Amino acid sequence: MYQEVKLELIFLLPIFLPFLTAIFLFLNKKLFNELITNFFTLNSALLSFAIAAYSFISLALDKFKPVNVELFQWISNPDISIGFTLDGLSGIMLILVTGLSFVIQLFSTSYMEKDENHCNYFVYFNFFVFSMLLLVMSSNFLVMFFGWELVGLSSYLLISFWSKKPAAAKAGNKAFVINRVGDFGFLIGLMIILIGYSLYRRYTKVIEGATGSQDKPKYQDPNLNQDPLYLATINASNITFLKSQIDDITKLRQQMNLLNEKVENNSTQLA
């Protein structure tokens, strides 16, 4: 019992630590130079990864028994709560997100060296990591939606970071608009789940109702195979969004390669 309570408190730290880091850097960005900014953001990312690894190992030793944390109940009727879940899948995602964020930030400290908005970049990136963890560690569809929205916002801030460049500004606007298309499908799914099950507590509650393990949902439609979760999980706009992002990233990478070649050529000529 003590181990479970301890794990409930620990696995929340990697989720909110990037958010606290983003706020801390934002409030002190005029005071911190690049070295201090790098110190705080890298140590925060490394600490998040270490805690995530410890949480996953503890979960594995407990035979992957899911750990659910309900922070608070927003509305009692319908049953809407804000919480997080640590299980085998979310534990793997927790390690992946925190581990990759550390590697990317370690690379970024060199790549963003001497950039005039050096601190802002790490504020946006830490906010992105928090948004992604909110998305993958959520215990219900509503918290997932909050994470999805924040990922869209932080992605826009990062994609259009060099907004003075027309290509970056265009890519950011395109990502923002396409993300709104994804929101439309997501919201339809949320509404149908709320109508059918009258709750946003845990995924398992909705899935059990959809598979017949519990009472059937109040909403029945033969066109949806009598399963409102069917429409909620069909969101083709996400595929469109992902393809658009990949295309923009490819174009920006090509432009950066051309710029690096020009810099190397100029350096060779000067030498």
pLDDT tens per residue across span 123-157: 999 999 999 999 999 888 888 888 888 988 888 88
Distances (CA, A) of 7 to 12, 46, 57, 238: 9, 19, 11, 33
Would you call 116 helix, strand, or coil by DSSP?
coil
CA dihedral 170, 176, 177, 181 (to 10 degrees): 150
Range among 166-175, 219-228, 235-244 rated most confident: 166-175
Range among 109-118, 163-172, 204-213, 225-234 rated most confident: 109-118
8, 62 Cβ separation under 8 angstroms: no
In this prediction, residue 65 has a pLDDT band, given cuts at 50, 70 and 90, of: confident
Distance CA(12)–CA(94), nearest Å, equals: 10
Given a cut of 80, whether residue 53 has pLDDT beyond it is yes
Question: Residue holding tokens 């594995």?
Answer: 60
Which of residues 234 and 184 earns the better pLDDT score?
184
Average pLDDT, integer, range 210-236: 47
pLDDT of residue 224: 41
Burial of 259 (0-12, 13-18, 19+ CB in 10 A): exposed
Which of 36-40, 71-75, 150-154, 225-229 bottoms out in mean pLDDT, i.e. has the lowest? 225-229
- Tell me the pLDDT of the chain averaged across its residues: 77
Given a cut of 90, whether residue 40 has pLDDT beyond it is yes
pTM of the predicted protein model: 0.74
Average pLDDT, integer, range 247-261: 62
Distances (CA, A) of 139 to 3, 84, 90, 104: 20, 4, 10, 27
How does pLDDT run across 91-121, given as a tens digit for each residue?
A: 999 999 999 999 999 999 988 888 888 999 9
